[in-house]
Copies of this chain bind each other. A is one copy, B any other.
Amino acid sequence: MKNDYKIILASNSPRRKELLSQIGFEFEVWPSNCEEVISQTEPSKVCTELSRLKALDVASGIRTYNENHPGLAQDRDLIVIGSDTIVALNDEILGKPKDDEDAKKMLKKLSGREHSVYTGVTFVFMSSDGRVGEHSFYEKTDVFVYDIDDDEIKEYVDSGEPLDKAGAYGIQGSFGKYIKKIEGDYYNVVGLPVSRLYHELKNIIE
């Protein structure tokens, strides 16, 4: 992929940074701090809207920075990448657990069942001559979880892994032993659908 753009990742998630690096992207990190206010309830629309809010928030921060630092003005075209991952069990959206008890409840719900992980991604393009554009998409992966007994749930929650993760689990950690199978992109469950992202960007840039 020819790429003269400077890529800005609008996320401080160590997993997203690792995934973008894994596929060979060079990028800078400018985390978004926007409030996650949404008007949608459908999982695919919620994650897409949140990814857009994050990308636009960072793009707006960059514009303000450019206006205040004319000497350091943007000399290359930029792409800001915003993304948001949510876990949905039927129509219920599971966010990050509030505490250990909440994590246990979520894991009990996921045990022995199928759920879906959605990641929304928004690109905001900012050319050096001031033009702006945007493009959003989402990717869905179905995840099938083995039965998890109370001892196993307690052990996993005690490990501290659930607390910063939507749905109270990370597929890439010790929870991998409870994932029977998936249908879709594995990295989408980790937090960024890198193959879809790469191809969407390739189609736009080339």
Contacts and interface: CB of A to CB of B under 8 A. Distances in A.
Contacts of A19: 176
Contacts of A164: none
A181 B196 CA distance: 10
A195 B178 contact: yes
Contacts of A196: 180
A199 B172 CA distance: 18
Nearest to A141: B181
Contacts of A176: 19, 22-23, 187, 194-195
Contact of A186 (B146, B174, B186, B199): B186
A179 interface: yes
B183 A183 contact: yes
A177 B146 contact: no
Contacts of A177: 23-24, 194-195, 198-199
A152 B171 CA distance: 28
A22 B195 contact: no
A153 interface: no
Contact of A146 (B181, B182, B199): B199
A14 interface: no
Nearest to A1: B152
A177 to B, nearest CB: 4
A26 to B, nearest CB: 13
A152 to B, nearest CB: 8
21 contacts: A19-B176, A22-B173, A22-B174, A22-B176, A23-B177, A146-B199, A171-B186, A176-B195, A177-B198, A177-B199, A178-B195, A179-B185, A179-B186, A179-B195, A180-B195, A180-B196, A181-B183, A181-B184, A182-B182, A182-B184, A182-B186
Interface of A: 19, 22-24, 141, 146, 171, 173-174, 176-187, 194-196, 198-199
